[in-house]
Structure 1
Amino acid sequence: FNAMVCIHAGNQHIPLEVYRFIRDHVSPFMQFIPVIERHGAEEVGGRLASPDIPIEEAAVDGFSASPKPFGRFLCAIFDEWVRRDVGRVFVQQFDVALEAWLGMPSTLCSHAATCGRALALEHNGDLYACDHYVFPEYRLGNIHDMSLWELARLERQRALGEQKRDRLPAACRMCSVRFACQGGCPKDRFRSVKSDDLPRHWLCEGYKMFFTHIDAAMSFMAKELMRGRPPANVMAWIREQDRKLSGKSAK
């Protein structure tokens, strides 16, 4: 089974403790989901703010993951995984990143160019645009009234998915890691920067840190796969890089 692990303010500073516990005691299959929630003056669905609430009217909840700590969290886990666990531990974020370095479209909606296929069906038959968008304004209808196929093909659902690409900030469009990131989930694009034409993802700094950090190892694994060799060869390669680096620092 797959362990779905939420990363938040309470555990974002202890990446190896989290990773090793899941690896050693829970499952070799895992994914890390950053908790990113806002609350506003007009609260919808409990205390959490709808994605449509303007940036200036909603604040990030204190339990949410923070950009740089989240980036360091992923980097630390990757550094452990790439040296000892490739081929025996499977982390969704790393699998998806390797897809990007192979030039493949992402199978994870948050890092795909467009989205809109991860619908959320409630117990009463209500269908929502996404499990991140279970708010009244994103209700597509009810499967007792229209088929799932018809609801999924609604024009407003298609438009929502294409907005992920069409409303990408200029900074993202020019970013060196756009091919791997694609701006993240639109729900979390509420970080306002003066130089930007559109708000960027709350975890932008963290994602850029992570994708930049893994570039050399991912490039090696992608080349190994394209040559018909196992990507786990990266473990020996990176140990050799570490050895060379330690030799230089000792001089």
Structure 2
Amino acid sequence: MGLDAFQKAVENADRRAEPGAKVEHALCTSGAGLNDAWCRFLAERDMLVGLSVDGAMATQNSVEGGTVAHRQMFEAARLLRRHGVDCNVVCLVHAGNADRPHELYQCFRDGIGIRHVQFLPVVERTDPIRRGGDLRAGPPTVSERTITPEQWGAFLVAVFDEWVRHDVGRQFVKIFEDTLASWSAATRRPRAARAGGERLPLDCRCCPVLFACEGGRPADRFAESPHGEPGLNYLCAGYRRFFDHVDQPMRVMAALLRGGRDADAIMKILARYERGRPAA
């Protein structure tokens, strides 16, 4: 629709705001249509811009060697930075790129210089969704592009191990920041999710990491629990592997924060531990 239409939409939202309300605007885009005029407006309004990226395009090592979409992503990030626009990356992780966690993370951190990253797992159902579990013919099916629970767990663990050793306080990965907030706010014990917890399978309600995952995205709760109950998150096994893997470092970082220290002190703690650990 163009910049003029976007400006009018923003102005209209501001005019309709209740007295005393503060309106904040954000934009999610592939970056293909960004130019100086767009970036000047985004900077004036102090908007956060999320660059939506299919992870397959982010595994090239340079702008020159990448695809057209890959070059557009680099150029959009550079243009936004030049105008002082705060931006992050929203990266889709699917079956085609889930085995390259380090390439993706390092591309955003080192290649583009993006400090805020959100990884979103691709889960696409292909079976018809009907109301009432007894009306569905056969178990739910997913597309070939859909990430498996095992892939998602391995991806998160690999990126976390890089982040916790080198990038705490420097790079902000949304799921890690959210997980640290959960560990800081609660002891590791079963408790109900904030919303809809009563509809979760018994396995979820008794899970020691429910306080962190809260059952996952409602749209992904179409698997069966080990005891045959519906409503289990399709990616449950992946999230459980991740939360179990990060439990100890999250406890350490939460303790650091409670003691008035920065969470990034864990990097020195891990470095000392690994230097003193005997070789295998």
Q: Same fold (TM over 0.5)?
A: yes
1:199 is the counterpart of 2:279: no
Cα 1:51–1:210 shift into 2, 3 Å: farther
1:97-176 paired onto structure 2 within 5 Å: 97-103=179-185, 113-114=193-194, 162=195, 164-176=196-208
Cα 1:59–1:241 shift into 2, 3 Å: same
Give the superposition deviation at 1:242. Answer: 2.1
Give the superposition deviation at 1:197. Answer: 2.7
Give the superposition deviation at 1:194. Answer: 4.8
1:181-196 paired onto structure 2 within 5 Å: 181-196=213-228
Does the Cα contact within 8 Å between 1:5 and 1:31 map onto a contact in 2? Answer: yes
Secondary structure, counterpart of 2:185 in structure 1: coil
Counterparts of 1:194 and 1:226, CA distance in 2:
37
Give the superposition deviation at 1:50. Answer: 7.7
RMSD: 2.1
Give the superposition deviation at 1:113. Answer: 2.5
Q: Counterpart in 2 of 1:70?
A: 152
Does the Cα contact within 8 Å between 1:9 and 1:66 map onto a contact in 2? Answer: yes
Choose which of 10, 16, 23 in structure 1 pairs with 2:109: 23
Secondary structure, counterpart of 2:230 in structure 1: coil
More relative contact order in 1 or in 2 (CA 8 Å, sep 6+)? 1
Aligned residues: 186
Percent of paired sites with the same residue = 39
Q: Counterpart in 2 of 1:240?
A: 272
Counterparts of 1:21 and 1:188, CA distance in 2:
28
**Structure showing greater Rg:** 2
Paired amino acid for 1:76: A
Paired amino acid for 1:71: G
Does the Cα contact within 8 Å between 2:203 and 2:225 map onto a contact in 1? Answer: no
1:221-232 paired onto structure 2 within 5 Å: 221-232=253-264
Secondary structure, counterpart of 1:102 in structure 2: helix
Give the superposition deviation at 1:103. Answer: 1.4
Q: Give the TM-score normalised by structure 2.
A: 0.62
Q: Which runs of 4+ in 1 moved over 6 A?
A: 50-53
Q: Counterpart in 2 of 1:209?
A: 241
Deviations 1:30-84 (A, max 9, x none): 00000001112x4xxxxxx589884736411110111011101000000000111
Does the Cα contact within 8 Å between 2:93 and 2:147 map onto a contact in 1? Answer: yes
Secondary structure, counterpart of 1:31 in structure 2: strand
Does the Cα contact within 8 Å between 2:180 and 2:254 map onto a contact in 1? Answer: yes
Q: Counterpart in 2 of 1:108?
A: none
Counterparts of 2:253 and 2:103, CA distance in 1:
26
Cα 1:194–1:223 shift into 2, 3 Å: closer
Does the Cα contact within 8 Å between 1:51 and 1:187 map onto a contact in 2? Answer: no
Q: Give the TM-score normalised by structure 1.
A: 0.69
Q: Counterpart in 2 of 1:141?
A: none
